Structure 1
Amino acid sequence: MGRRNDGQVTEVLRYTAFTTTPSGGNPAGVVLDAQGLSDAEMLAIAAELGYSESAFLFPTGERQYRVRYFSPLAEVAFCGHATIATSVALGERIGQGTVHLATQAGPVPVEIVPGPAGDITAVLTSPPASTRPATEEEIRRTLAGLRWSADDLDPAYPAHVANAGNDHLVLAAATRDRLADLDYDYDALAKIMAELGWTTVHLFWAESPAVFHARNPFPPGGVVEDPATGAAAAAFTGYLRTLGHLQDGSSITIHQGVDMGRPSLLTCTAIPGDTRVKVSGTAVPIP
């Protein structure tokens, strides 16, 4: 529960997304009715929870909501895992069907459907995805912050800045061991990301053309690492499609959070004839 300045109590739900167990996935705070909350109050709730993001909903019509996302440090335009968590929480209360979310990054429809084990799966359609090559200076500074060298990168996947609601630097690790051994300079990377407006750095290793392992440093949110990042996954899927590594209508799976002890599974599909991406996942309440 969170207490507002007017003394009223706001119900704050806790869900973890992209997992079927409370010990996995990425936790998010969810406020299904945030009417009357100020920006400072929403930020305070997010900071008290300490999760990478929390979602605050403002009902605007039948199955329609305006949503705002806050990390412990600042507001974020779009957050995939908090959207999945919120949609599952909604589905448990209003049933299956489509909900329409208005985010600062644009409209995000979410399909709430039955999951394979009788649970609920949420399938969000991301904001439009785009990507551009990273500059040599961006790569050099980021590698220094990560304490990586150019030899640690996989040349089959060039470094890009990808977007599907937020900017993410995409870097491919040459080996799974390189990805697993993540010990970066938090302050240095935080400075670079703040200057360039990046939300996370999406580090990944390609197990196969359709299966990837990822880690996402998230200093701008006050978090060392994100265990599941739906917005970065959508941006990454758009990146793969632009580079010709993924065909329209094809799907990939992303394993994230494994090295943190919070395994997460994200499924992403490139929508035919559209720059947007579908991101699917489950979520469960945190006791």
Structure 2
Amino acid sequence: MTTQPAVLRFTAFSDDPEGGNPAGVVLDAAGLDDDAMLAIAADLGYSESAFLTAPPEGLGGADGRAFTIRYFSPKAEVPFCGHATVAAAVALGERIGPGDLVFATRAGTVPVSVTRDDGALRATLTTVEPRVEPIADADLAEALAALDWPAADLDPALPPRIAFAGARHLVIGAATRERLADLAYDFPRLEALMHRLDLTTVQLVWRESPAVFHVRDPFPVGGVVEDPATGAAAGAFGAYARELGLVEAASVLTLHQGADMGRPGVLTVELREGDRRVRVSGAGARIA
């Protein structure tokens, strides 16, 4: 008789279980095949869940602190997920204590540091090498049509681009907070475009101040209308902001996400001069 592994529930990018982005975490998924992991993710209904197994041979990291990690949405496996990485790291921080971790993901090796701050655990992941590319005019027009966003509602200071830091995200800048707040899109139309462009989310951004941004992430390809806090997209956005010269080469950015869904979270994005990788950090909390 096969024993079902423990499925933990953690939120990421908030120290409040009612905020941030919830994720399922299975710390020992060695006995699960792909169908079983997908079934658990679908049953939970969170945007992603993380499944940990033994690390591949040769992966660096302290003994007992390196893992293979896979991510499943309710619909499919995804190559990388920031919030589920933070959730898994915080879960491990509870179990084996704060410190450095190494995760082998489909997108590459992702180091994570877990610290304790005023009693709460916080995780910082370092992305794989990011990249930014243009989007074709016709594809942008289709995205805006699916969102029902007139081109006049875009912020010309935040030009649309596709950014990658483990997964691909289309970044679109909103001219006003009101535009960002009004999100009612054509789910199947946007989903079809995203599959064609191999996008994980569309990251909609409004800039409040030089280093503070508000973001929302439709996620129809994962079977979820909207992601409450998207660490992979935050990493991609950091690379985007640096490449387009929107911020200094060494910067700390604050991204607010989830407030429009009633699950507010805060994502901290750190850019370091001389290192193209992006660091994304946030608190985490167990969901009872």
TM-score (norm 1): 0.96
- Measured against aligned partners, the alpha-carbon deviations of 1:119-162 in whole angstroms (never above 9, x if no partner) come to 11101001111101211111100000000111010001110000
Selected match of 1:80 from 82, 85, 91: 82
CA distance in 2, matches of 1:20, 1:119: 7
**What is aligned with 2:22?**
27
- 5 Å-filtered alignment, 1:206-221, equals 206-221=207-222
Q: Determine if contact 1:28/1:51 at 8 Å carries over to the other structure.
A: yes
Distance 2:64 2:6 in 1: 21
CA–CA distance in 1 between the matches of 2:178 and 2:241?
Answer: 22
The answer on 1:245 being equivalent to 2:246 is: yes
2:99 matches 1:102 = no
Letter in 1 for 2:265: S
Of 41, 46, 67, the match for 1:51 = 46
Amino acid at match of 1:21: D
Match of 2:150 in 1: 149
Q: What's 1:204 paired with?
A: 205
CA contact (8 A) 1:78 1:105 kept: yes
Contact 1:130 1:275 in 2 (8 A): no
Q: Which residue of 1 aligns with 2:172?
A: 171
d(CA) in 2 for partners of 1:151, 1:12: 46
SS in 2 for 1:246: coil
Say which SS state the counterpart of residue 145 (structure 1) adopts: helix
Q: Structure 1 residue 118: deviation in Å? A: 1.8
**Contact kept in structure 2, 1:147 and 1:184, CA below 8 Å:** yes
Q: Distance in 1 between matches of 2:192 and 2:200?
A: 12
C-alpha contact (below 8 Å) 1:179/1:203 kept by paired residues: yes
> Are positions 1:185 and 2:186 aligned together?
yes
1:134 aligns with 2:135: yes
Matching residue of 1:40: 35
Identity of matched residues, %? 57
Gaps of 5+ in 1: 1-5
Q: Which amino acid letter does the alignment assign opposite residue 68 of structure 1?
A: R
Q: Distance in 1 between matches of 2:239 and 2:64?
A: 31
* AA partner of residue 278 (structure 2): V
Write the letter of the residue equivalent to 2:81: C
- Counterpart code for 1:186: F
Deviations 1:262-287 (A, max 9, x none): 00100000132122100010111111
Number of the residue aligned with 1:231: 232
C-alpha distance in 1, partners of 2:121/2:91?
A: 9
1:43-102 CA deviation, whole Å, 9 max, x = no partner? 000000000000000123521100000000000000000000000110111112100000
Query: 2: distance between equivalents of 1:23 and 1:178?
Result: 25
> Aligned partners of 2:183, 2:54: CA distance in 1, in Å?
41
Q: Deviating runs (4+, > 6 A) in structure 1?
A: none
Other structure's SS at 1:22 match: coil
- How far does the alpha carbon of each residue in 1:220-260 deviate from its partner, in whole angstroms, 9 at most, with x for none? 00000000000000000000000011223211000000000
Once residues 104 and 125 of structure 2 are traced to their aligned partners in structure 1, the CA distance between those partners, rounded to angstroms, is 12
Give the AA of the match of 2:69. Answer: V
Distance 1:77 1:271 in 2: 24
Corresponding position of 1:254: 255
Residue 263 of structure 1 is matched in structure 2 by 264
In 2, the alpha carbon distance for the partners of 1:150 and 1:227 equals: 25
Determine the structure 1 residue equivalent to 2:59. none
Equivalent position of 2:121 in the other structure: 120
Q: Which residue of 2 aligns with 1:8?
A: 3
1:92 correspondence with 2:94: yes
Rounded to whole Å, the distance in 2 between the matches of 1:20 and 1:274 is 29
> Counterpart of 1:102 in structure 2: which amino acid?
A
TM-score, scaled relative to structure 2: 0.96
**Matched residues in 2 for 1:94 and 1:271: separation?**
29
